[in-house]
Amino acid sequence: MSEASREETVAQQAKEAVGKMVAELYRIGESRTSLDATHLAMLDDTILPNFLAAYDAGAKASQERWIPVEERLPEVGKEVIAGAFIEATFSDGRKTRNWQQVLQIWTGEKWIDSDSGEEDGATHWQPLPAAPGSPSTQTAQKNEQKGGGN
């Protein structure tokens, strides 16, 4: 299953779970006079959109973390930010360990540096962020302007 398909499946499952939750609240509301039509409308107009915005923010945060290659690999042929710790020993015996990150492509068998085309390695990776002006960036900016973002 591709990463995009997996994200769509998770989003659909979350929406279904919220739908079940709202249906249950409606059922409870029908049996209690304290939960009137105004409260039920608020569920649709406020609570559900806020829940979905929080879910989207959580999904975005999980996409922005460094993903260990042991946990999951990117789609074959997709350019990502990949990184690894590089260890070096100087002639005087001192050792260093530095984090290095570059744009790489996972071929399904090996990592290829996007710039040089040479074989490289990675221990972790991240998807590339959306380009400025892309639909997902514009949606995020609109949500922030409405007060939905931090």
Residue closest to 125 by CA, chosen among 57, 78, 90, 55 = 78
Per-position pLDDT tens, the chain of length 150: 565 666 667 777 777 777 777 676 666 655 555 556 666 666 666 666 766 666 666 566 555 689 999 999 999 999 999 999 989 898 999 999 988 889 999 999 999 998 889 988 899 999 988 888 766 555 555 555 555 544
- The contacts of residue 47 (CB under 8 Å, 6+ apart) are none
Q: Are residues 49 and 80 in the same domain?
A: no
Whether 18 maps to a domain, the answer reads yes
Is there a single domain that holds both residue 123 and residue 72?
yes
Distance CA 56, CA 61 (A): 9
Q: Rounded distance, CA 149 to CA 131, Å?
A: 18
Shared domain check, 52 and 102: no
**Residue 13, SS3 per DSSP:** helix
* Domains: count for the chain: 2
Q: Are residues 72 and 121 in the same domain?
A: yes
Q: Are residues 72 and 120 in the same domain?
A: yes
